[in-house]
């Protein structure tokens, strides 16, 4: 037992001592990188990294460049501070480095005397390097400190590069596809550009410049002058990985590629992402649908490129035939603001979709436009309206009317007699042109919003978003395309008789006619002017147009792929250019796309896009009107081409037999087509209802109308006549407009100077009001067309309507 107690005591004393000894154990080898207790310590400088180690550095003879700052680290990867580096080169006759790390592609001056500091003058290499008869060579440079040497960095030294030509994909790439970029480079020898380097895949007949004398082949640029840097002009079309020089297709279009090497850069070439070949739009899986007012629904848009691959993320314009009531956002969401009906189209049009530099239009199909199929949208219900009446050239006043209350507002006096009156499509402002200035009035309170004396002339058109207004000055014979606030004015010489924008606001068509040369006015020509945000102003002769009035009127197709101009023949010009792709100087941007042998004075497009309606005096007048219906099929395909030859977009049309309107007209004013019908309370025939307005002096004049036999077909419709209330006093229906929900047609008549409300369901004259527009005083204003004996009031010739809720 005694021995056992002694053993326990010894263990009690020994265990703490053992624990204490173990806790104080040291491992000096852990402070060393190899873990063995000798060699470099974990706090010592272990490695130096010098960049760019993957791509190297390119320098032209005599160039200088500061070497990239080295980074130092321990064996554990922790950064360590170094007070100074020593730089080395494998050939200091080709690349010389100053103590501070400034490289010279040649040799630095040393001990020059005369107060010239060392390392301030970089002399060309002597002798100049030569490799296979070409002026280039390479060295390696390093940085060292504390006996540690960095990785080597290749430095390529060469004659100055004067031009670079891209060697990349010759065809377009589909979205997200990638390809490696390469290039050819040239330099100057004996006053001539010769080739320095090119990819091995390039054959001699494709060299960007001739081979130097005595040289039979050239190396790749990456092996001779180093890695080139590339940049894109439009990151929306493509992006480039600077490490790998891989280009990735992003969105349809063509972009310029700029390449640079050793501080020399040039436009090397172009790259194309494949354009759309088709755009398909549906709503709930169908191409027609009913949408509840105030409820947003989203259309599904499917776009395939010319390789048959899907495109996502496109910036499309959605056109509406009835934008005040039904419109769509850029994402395809339908805004059903008021009851009505509309056809919606998705359009890809440069420059927001499929852009291209002007000298690359048509290359790989880029820089061209394409439209989708229509989606027919109906919003049930009825809406009220605000209406404004004016008589440009005959009254210095306009009159507002609230349809809901039936209240005729007070006449509003303008500063001058207007020669034109146009409301923007949003119904925010009304623009009045005059020989003195542009006058702008707010529809919210019918008060003057602005006057612009620098913009005299006739207001021909206001852009769909209200941001631009086209004014034509007949005195100076110039078009002013101005911002709606009067600023940012651009001008173009010419005269016009009618103009209209496409619904997306990208293209403006203006037509002119020699028939406007009358009453001392000269300078009008048979010419089509087109303004596009991408191509600017262009003009096209319409010398073949004849007829009673020539090309004095136009109608934008639905969708807006082009425009028809009145005359004989009636012709269309469309948005697909004609000529050799890329040869923009000789390209016709809006060539003729249709010609129909029929005489027309005025034109209108039906809302379904299937008909162009025309009317003209049957003779010299006064007398009947010849009414024509041209059935059209608007293509929704990509612009046609054959190889690099671009061809016009041709519209397939059929002329239905013209019909005679038995009226006694002295001139045809307009054809007004319905914006399409709503389902509640409107007859199906209202979907294709059109009225013909004209001048005349015979009492008892009827109002001619035209309905398609079946909506959406190409067949001939039916002509009818509506007898207006107070018919014996009516001499002509001179102006008119539909309510946006298509339930009413407001027609202004001469003789009784009244406004008649026509129910589009029953085709009955249900109400009459008198706007009482005072006649302007003859001779008081140059814009007044009234002659003595002067009437006290005149009929409204301009009618503008804006929808409002019925509550």
CATH assignment at residue 130: 2.60.40.1080
In the predicted model, is pLDDT for residue 678 greater than 50?
Answer: no
Please give the tally of structural domains in the chain.
4
Cis omega before residue 622 (within 30°)?
A: yes
Whether residue 142 is contained in a domain is answered as yes
Co-location of 109 and 188 in the same domain: no
Q: Which of 105, 123, 158 delimits the end of a domain?
A: 158
Burial class (CB in 10 A: 0-12, 13-18, 19+), 113: exposed
How far apart CA 783 and CA 786 sit, in angstroms, is: 9
Predicted local confidence at residue 291, as pLDDT? 92
Q: Check residue 394 and report its DSSP letter.
A: T
The count of C-alpha atoms lying within 13 angstroms of the C-alpha of 86, restricted to the half-sphere facing its C-beta, is 6
- Cα angle, residue 333 at apex, residues 328 and 339 outer, rounded to 5°: 60
Predicted local confidence at residue 169, as pLDDT? 84
Q: Which of 128, 158, 188 delimits the end of a domain?
A: 158
Q: Which of 208, 239, 273 delimits the end of a domain?
A: 273
Predicted local confidence at residue 98, as pLDDT? 97
Predicted local confidence at residue 784, as pLDDT? 96
How far apart CA 604 and CA 690 sit, in angstroms, is: 9
Percent of the chain beyond pLDDT 70?
Answer: 93
pLDDT in tens, 148-160: 999 999 999 999 9
In the predicted model, is pLDDT for residue 486 greater than 50?
Answer: yes
Closest among 349, 166, 339, 404 to 266, alpha carbons compared: 166
Predicted local confidence at residue 807, as pLDDT? 60
In the predicted model, is pLDDT for residue 84 greater than 50?
Answer: yes
Q: How confident is the model at residue 712 (pLDDT cuts 50, 70, 90)?
A: low
SS3 string of 652-692?
A: EEEECCCEEEEEEECEEEEEEECCCCCCCCCCHHHHHCEEE
Element at 224 (helix H, strand E): helix 221-224
In the predicted model, is pLDDT for residue 6 greater than 80?
Answer: no
CB atoms within 10 A of CB 130: 10
Closest among 250, 208, 209, 213 to 233, alpha carbons compared: 250
Sign of the dihedral defined by the CA atoms of residues 748, 514, 559, 651, in that order:
positive
Co-location of 684 and 798 in the same domain: yes
Co-location of 220 and 152 in the same domain: no
Co-location of 791 and 712 in the same domain: yes
Q: Check residue 802 and report its DSSP letter.
A: E
**If you average pLDDT over residues 393-406, what whole number do you get?**
91
Lowest model confidence (mean pLDDT) among 210-224, 316-330, 569-583: 316-330
Predicted local confidence at residue 483, as pLDDT? 93
Q: To 10 degrees, the CA torsion angle through 225, 227, 232, 236?
A: 160
Co-location of 291 and 244 in the same domain: no
The CA radius of gyration of the chain, in Å to the nearest whole number, is: 39
In the predicted model, is pLDDT for residue 803 greater than 70?
Answer: yes
Percent of the chain beyond pLDDT 90?
Answer: 75
Whether residue 617 is contained in a domain is answered as no
In the predicted model, is pLDDT for residue 30 greater than 80?
Answer: no
Q: Give Cβ neighbours of residue 149 (< 8 Å, ≥ 6 apart).
A: 48, 88, 142, 143
Co-location of 706 and 753 in the same domain: yes
Sheet containing 96-97: which strands, arranged edge to edge? 64-66, 102-104, 96-97
- At 543, give phi and psi (nearest 5°): -65, -20
**If you average pLDDT over residues 67-72, what whole number do you get?**
96
Q: pTM of the entire structure?
A: 0.84
Q: Reduced to 3 states, what is the DSSP secondary structure of residue 608? A: coil
Co-location of 679 and 794 in the same domain: yes
Predicted local confidence at residue 325, as pLDDT? 85
Cis omega before residue 351 (within 30°)?
A: yes
Say if residues 499 and 463 touch (Cβ distance below 8 Å). no
CATH code of the domain covering residue 181: 2.60.40
Closest among 689, 547, 667 to 604, alpha carbons compared: 689
pLDDT in tens, 515-570: 999 877 899 999 999 999 888 999 999 966 566 678 999 999 999 999 999 999 99
Whether residue 374 is contained in a domain is answered as yes
**If you average pLDDT over residues 208-215, what whole number do you get?**
95
Whether residue 762 is contained in a domain is answered as yes
Distance of CA 328 to the CA centre of its chain: 17
pLDDT, mean over the chain: 90
The count of C-alpha atoms lying within 13 angstroms of the C-alpha of 71, restricted to the half-sphere facing its C-beta, is 8
How far apart CA 173 and CA 9 sit, in angstroms, is: 88
Q: How confident is the model at residue 623 (pLDDT cuts 50, 70, 90)?
A: very high
Q: Give Cβ neighbours of residue 277 (< 8 Å, ≥ 6 apart).
A: 304, 305, 306, 308, 365, 370, 637, 638
Co-location of 308 and 399 in the same domain: no
Q: Give Cβ neighbours of residue 678 (< 8 Å, ≥ 6 apart).
A: 339, 340, 341, 378, 379, 380, 381, 382, 741, 742, 743
Q: How confident is the model at residue 164 (pLDDT cuts 50, 70, 90)?
A: very high
The count of C-alpha atoms lying within 13 angstroms of the C-alpha of 156, restricted to the half-sphere facing its C-beta, is 27
Predicted local confidence at residue 607, as pLDDT? 86
Say how many Å lie between the first and final Cα of the chain, rounded: 112
Say if residues 653 and 594 touch (Cβ distance below 8 Å). yes
Domain that includes residue 217, residue range: 161-273
Closest among 89, 73, 91 to 81, alpha carbons compared: 73
Closest among 776, 788, 148, 175 to 435, alpha carbons compared: 776
DSSP string, 76-98: TS-B---S--EEEES-TTTSEE-
Say if residues 574 and 648 touch (Cβ distance below 8 Å). yes
In the predicted model, is pLDDT for residue 779 greater than 50?
Answer: yes
In the predicted model, is pLDDT for residue 806 greater than 70?
Answer: no
Whether residue 533 is contained in a domain is answered as no
Whether residue 633 is contained in a domain is answered as no
Burial class (CB in 10 A: 0-12, 13-18, 19+), 706: buried
Whether residue 82 is contained in a domain is answered as yes
Co-location of 227 and 299 in the same domain: no
Predicted local confidence at residue 393, as pLDDT? 97
Lowest model confidence (mean pLDDT) among 8-22, 400-414, 481-495: 8-22
Looking at 282-402, list the stretches that DSSP marks H as alpha helix, in order from N- to C-terminal side: none
Predicted local confidence at residue 680, as pLDDT? 34
Predicted local confidence at residue 431, as pLDDT? 98
Co-location of 205 and 144 in the same domain: no
In the predicted model, is pLDDT for residue 17 greater than 80?
Answer: no
Predicted local confidence at residue 710, as pLDDT? 46
Co-location of 67 and 151 in the same domain: yes
Whether residue 744 is contained in a domain is answered as yes
Co-location of 779 and 680 in the same domain: yes
In the predicted model, is pLDDT for residue 679 greater than 70?
Answer: no
In the predicted model, is pLDDT for residue 20 greater than 60?
Answer: no
Say if residues 70 and 50 touch (Cβ distance below 8 Å). yes
Strand runs (DSSP E) across 191-263, as ranges? Answer: 192-197, 229-232, 238-241, 246-249, 253-261
DSSP string, 719-755: EEEEPPTTGGG--EEEEEEE-TTSSEEEEEEETT--E
Q: How confident is the model at residue 94 (pLDDT cuts 50, 70, 90)?
A: very high
């Amino acid at each position: 037992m005694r021995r056992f107690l002694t053993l326990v005591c010894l263990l009690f004393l020994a265990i703490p001592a053992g624990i204490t000894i173990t806790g104080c154990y040291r491992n000096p080898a852990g402070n060393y990188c190899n873990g063995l207790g000798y060699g470099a310590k974990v706090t010592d400088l272990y490695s130096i990294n010098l960049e760019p180690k993957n791509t190297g550095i390119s320098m032209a003879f005599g160039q200088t460049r500061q070497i990239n700052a080295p980074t130092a680290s321990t064996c554990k990867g922790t950064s360590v501070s170094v007070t100074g580096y020593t730089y080395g080169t494998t050939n200091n006759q080709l690349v010389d480095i100053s103590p501070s790390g400034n490289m010279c592609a040649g040799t630095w001056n040393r001990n020059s005397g005369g107060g010239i500091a060392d390392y301030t003058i970089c002399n060309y290499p002597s002798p100049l390097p030569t490799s296979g008869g070409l002026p280039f060579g390479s060295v390696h440079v390093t940085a060292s400190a504390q006996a540690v040497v960095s990785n080597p960095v290749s430095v390529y030294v060469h004659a100055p590069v004067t031009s670079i030509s891209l060697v990349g994909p010759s065809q377009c790439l589909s979205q997200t596809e990638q390809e490696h970029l390469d290039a050819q480079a040239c330099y100057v020898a004996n006053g001539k550009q010769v080739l320095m380097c090119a990819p091995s895949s390039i054959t001699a007949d494709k060299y960007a410049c001739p081979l130097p004398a005595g040289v039979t082949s050239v190396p790749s640029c990456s092996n001779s002058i180093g890695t080139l840097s590339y940049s894109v002009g439009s990151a929306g079309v493509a992006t480039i990985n600077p490490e790998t020089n891989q280009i990735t297709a992003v969105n349809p279009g063509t972009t310029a590629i700029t390449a640079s090497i050793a501080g020399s850069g040039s436009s090397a070439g172009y790259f194309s992402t494949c354009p759309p070949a088709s755009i398909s739009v549906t709503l709930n899986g169908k191409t027609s649908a009913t949408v509840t007012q105030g409820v947003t629904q989203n259309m599904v848009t499917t776009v395939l490129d010319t390789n048959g691959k899907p495109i996502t993320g496109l910036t499309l314009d959605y056109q509406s035939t009835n934008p005040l009531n039904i419109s769509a956002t850029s994402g395809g969401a339908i805004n059903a603001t008021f009851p009505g009906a509309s056809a919606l189209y998705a359009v890809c049009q440069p420059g927001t979709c499929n852009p291209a530099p002007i000298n690359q239009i048509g290359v790989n199909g880029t820089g061209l436009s394409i439209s989708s199929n229509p989606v027919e949208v109906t919003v049930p219900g009825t809406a009220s309206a605000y209406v404004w009446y004016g008589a440009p050239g005959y009254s210095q006043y306009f009159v507002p009317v609230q349809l809901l209350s039936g209240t005729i507002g007070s006449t509003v006096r303008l500063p001058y007699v207007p020669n034109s009156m146009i409301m923007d499509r949003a119904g925010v402002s009304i623009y009045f042109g005059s020989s003195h200035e542009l006058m702008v009035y707010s529809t919210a309170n019918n008060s003057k919003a602005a006057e612009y004396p620098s913009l005299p002339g006739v207001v021909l058109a206001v852009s769909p978003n209200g941001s631009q207004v086209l004014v034509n000055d007949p005195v100076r014979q110039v078009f002013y395309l101005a911002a709606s606030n009067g600023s940012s004015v651009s001008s173009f010489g010419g005269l016009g008789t009618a103009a209209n924008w496409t619904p997306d606001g990208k293209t403006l068509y203006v037509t002119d006619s020699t028939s406007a040369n009358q009453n001392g006015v000269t300078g009008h020509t048979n010419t089509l002017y087109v303004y596009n945000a991408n191509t600017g102003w262009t003009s096209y002769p319409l010398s073949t147009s004849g007829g009673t009035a020539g090309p004095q009127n136009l109608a934008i197709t639905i969708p807006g792929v082009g425009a028809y101009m009145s005359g004989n023949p009636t012709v269309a010009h469309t948005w697909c250019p004609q000529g050799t792709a890329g040869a923009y100087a000789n390209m016709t941007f809006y060539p003729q796309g249709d010609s129909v042998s029929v005489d027309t004075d005025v034109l209108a497009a039906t809302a379904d896009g299937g008909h162009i309606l025309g009317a003209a005096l049957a003779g010299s007048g006064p007398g009947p009107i010849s009414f024509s219906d041209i059935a059209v099929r608007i293509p929704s395909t990509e612009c046609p081409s054959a190889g690099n030859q671009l061809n016009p977009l041709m519209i397939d049309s059929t002329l239905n037999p013209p019909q005679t309107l038995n009226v006694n007209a002295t001139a045809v004013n307009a054809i007004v087509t319905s914006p399409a019908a709503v389902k509640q309370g409107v007859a199906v025939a209202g979907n294709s209802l059109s009225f013909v307005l004209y001048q005349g002096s015979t009492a008892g004049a009827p109002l001619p109308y035209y309905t398609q036999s079946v909506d959406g077909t190409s067949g001939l419709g039916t002509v009818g006549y509506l007898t207006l209330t107070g018919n014996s006093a009516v001499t002509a229906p001179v102006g008119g407009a539909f309510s946006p929900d298509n339930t009413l047609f407001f027609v202004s008549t001469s003789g009784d100077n009244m406004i008649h409300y026509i129910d589009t369901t029953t085709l009955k004259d249900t109400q009459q009001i008198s706007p009482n527009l005072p006649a302007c005083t003859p001779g008081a204003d140059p814009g007044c067309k009234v002659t003595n004996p002067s009437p006290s009031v005149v009929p409204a010739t301009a009618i503008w309507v804006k929808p409002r809720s019925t509550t």
